[in-house]
Chains A and B, each alone.
Chain A
Amino acid sequence: MNYTAISMFFLFVGITLVITVWASRRTKTRSDFYAAGSSIGGLQNGLAIAGDFMSAATFLGVTALVYSTGMDAILFIIGGTLGWAVILLLVAERLRNLGKYTFSDVVAFRLERKPVRTMSAIGSLAVAIPYLLAQMVGAGALIQILFGLPYEVAVVMVGVLMTMYVMFGGMLATTWIQTIKAVLLLIAGTIIGLGVMSMMNYDFGALITAAVSEHPKGAAIMVPGVMFTDIITVISIALAFVFGTAGLPHVLMRFFTVPDALQARRSVAYAIGFIGYFQSLIFIIGLGAIVYVTNNPEFLTADGGLIGGSNMSAVHLSKVIGGDLFLGFVSAVAFATILAVVSGLTLSAAAAVSHDLYANVICHGDADRDTELKISRITTLVIGMMTMGLAILLEGENVAVLALIALAIAASVNFPVMFLSMYWSRFTTRGALAGGYAGLATALILVLLGPTVWVTLFGFDKPIFPYRYPTLFAMLANLGCAYWFSVTDKSHRAFAESESYDAQWIQSEIGPLEEQS
């Protein structure tokens, strides 16, 4: 039992509950619930966006990747940052200018509302739910190790808290929780990074030399190729990061919490600063873990493995740097990270159901405000209960596949459809549906037939599809179908949709005119 961790964690939960109560009093309209009343400033939104990205997967997972593979992890570190450049340069301002609460608003701007919204809501849910489950299962295991709580108790705690944040506090509470956590995580990362560098007398070369001499693979960790050996895998991973980030519904939702395109641009700029800084720390933290954790008997199990698996390398390192007190702080921050990210995901899933499916598909776009809000709260509750149940059933399963599916679908369903609707005048409803569903089906089938599911989960000898990551093929399937079914679409609807592109294009460039006057 680590009492520092527990008391710091309860302090964080206490503060977030106070924020939720405060936010619930201010959450009355749809705009409040989905977009915090579009009242968040650029700096805070930048922190919140960075917080969404700096999940447990980045902090613990990428550190673990550096810890076990060395230079190969740089591909992930750069990719994670460049995804934000895509958002800044191509998406952020246009998204803010065209949409209201979800990215489906943009896709449905000139295309036929019902089928297109249904498709992008499915895309959002297909990203949010697996990602949510991956975080929950990871959280349960992590909390079990950090706090000594049983797995089920940990999952229920995370589930109940995230449901409360979202149901009562909506986007306002979610944003504040994400902001606070981002600041805490940046502080924790900075202290660990500085701690490692100071033990090395601020000599980066010495850190690398020490890591090479401590790592069981030795000098091989400073040569790429420990993990990746074929170009298809590298391209798929790069595409998943660079374009998948711009297809994550919970991240895209954040651009509606700022008042205008100018603040949207400012928020990504801040976010890139924070994320780039954090990513560069991760490499140092990972190397530090190699030096101070790999051969430290305190952190090893009887058979020589790392206690809690390689995901715990950053946490163990924090004990080396600051003893039990700092270990407690980092554990509490890791827990807070999971809580904040699952809340954002839950909100985006709830919005896909209540705003896209209920209000726009079932009610044809004129849903009653109170009913829509009630639906989104009920959806939140259902998603919370469902993910808690599934996460308990999935205890001990390999959940890497879930995160993999989520990012692949974001890159091969949501992003291409949104991108084409913004930039290509001849994109039609038929093309959007063909492309979106083709991307979704390809991504799911290839993951099913690939090594992760076919071999690891089903126990067959050889995978039917040889690559772990389906992104390259699924993106091509989407773009190919979207292109072909758009250019061959000679219907009146297709003609009208191309006609209305100019109006959409003008609004995407300079914003809605009525707001300006």
Chain B
Amino acid sequence: MLSQLDKEILINKDFQQLVKVRRRVSWSFLMFLLGLYSAFGFLSIYSPAVLARPVFAGGIVPFGVLMGYAILASAFIITLIYVWISNNYFVPLEKKVIDAIKAGTRT
């Protein structure tokens, strides 16, 4: 069912590399963020006192508020890192795959 072109892409080393690394990067970033969020959710039910405790002894800002802002900030930082990796690593690799395939079809 696969076209000749698709078969060539599937065995292309750069393509395999691209897919493997991209999958690893995006899933680990996602799991990291969802892990933080789950931690917040479970804490808010099972030990709300931890979230209510001030960050510094005698301070005012509760840990939960700091954690909320920290998760927002990490989502943003991860976005920047992902875009950076994409532009500097995935996009060139994609181009390489496509160029190789095109060169292959011409000959």
Contacts and interface: CB of A to CB of B under 8 A. Distances in A.
Contact of A223 (B9, B26, B48, B72): B48
Nearest to A500: B1
A212 to B, nearest CB: 9
Interface in B1-37: 1-3, 5-6, 9-10, 15, 18-19, 22, 26-27, 29-30, 33-34, 37
Nearest to B9: A506
Contacts of A86: 30
B59 A205 contact: yes
Interface string B71-107: 1110110111011001000010010011001100000
A86 B18 CA distance: 20
A201 interface: no
A55 B92 CA distance: 37
Interface residues of B, number: 55
A85 B79 contact: yes
A272 B76 contact: yes
Residue among A86, A88, A242 having the largest count of chain B Cβ atoms under 10 Å = A88
A499 B1 contact: yes
A225 B79 contact: no
Interface residues of A, number: 55
Interface string A504-517: 00100111010011
A223 B94 contact: no
Interface stretch (A68-76, A134-142, A443-451): A68-76
Nearest to A224: B44
B51 to A, nearest CB: 5
Contacts of B6: 502-503, 506
A82 B78 CA distance: 11
A234 B72 CA distance: 18
Contacts of B86: 262, 265
B41 A89 contact: no
A71 B82 contact: no
Interface in B38-92: 38, 40-46, 48-49, 51-52, 59-62, 64-65, 68-69, 71-73, 75-76, 78-80, 82-83, 86, 91
Interface in A460-517: 496, 499-500, 502-503, 506, 509-511, 513, 516-517
A78 B82 CA distance: 19
B10 A502 contact: yes
A74 B30 contact: no
Given A90-B30, A496-B1, A509-B19, A85 B75 contact: yes
Given A78-B72, A242-B37, A502-B2, A71 B62 contact: yes
A223 B45 CA distance: 10
Given A205-B60, A228-B45, A276 B83 contact: no
Interface in A64-107: 71-72, 74-75, 77-79, 81-82, 84-86, 88-90
A7 interface: no
A74 B68 contact: yes
A509 B98 CA distance: 11
B48 A225 contact: yes
Contacts of B61: 204-205, 208
Nearest to A509: B19
B37 A79 contact: yes
A151 B83 CA distance: 46
Contacts, number: 151
Nearest to B43: A224
Interface string A434-466: 000000000000000000000000000000000
A71 B53 CA distance: 12
Contacts of A234: 41-42, 44-45
A500 B61 CA distance: 55
A224 B33 contact: no
Interface in A195-247: 204-206, 208-209, 222-225, 228-231, 234-235, 238, 242
Given A79-B37, A90-B26, A502-B6, A230 B45 contact: yes
Nearest to B31: A89
Contacts of A223: 48-49, 51-52, 62
Contacts of A77: 68, 72
Select the residue from A90, A228, A269 with max chain B CB neighbours within 10 A.
Answer: A269
A280 interface: yes
B48 A85 contact: no
A510 B37 contact: no
B82 A276 contact: no
B72 A224 contact: no
B50 to A, nearest CB: 10
Contacts of A500: 1
Interface of B: 1-3, 5-6, 9-10, 15, 18-19, 22, 26-27, 29-30, 33-34, 37-38, 40-46, 48-49, 51-52, 59-62, 64-65, 68-69, 71-73, 75-76, 78-80, 82-83, 86, 91, 94, 97-98, 101-102
26 contacts: A71-B64, A71-B65, A74-B40, A78-B37, A81-B71, A85-B79, A89-B27, A89-B29, A208-B60, A222-B62, A223-B52, A223-B62, A224-B64, A228-B44, A262-B91, A269-B80, A272-B75, A272-B79, A276-B73, A276-B75, A276-B76, A503-B3, A509-B15, A509-B18, A510-B97, A513-B98
Given A75-B40, A231-B46, A272-B75, 17 more contacts: A78-B72, A79-B37, A84-B75, A85-B33, A89-B29, A224-B43, A225-B44, A228-B44, A238-B41, A262-B86, A262-B91, A269-B79, A499-B2, A502-B2, A509-B18, A509-B22, A511-B94
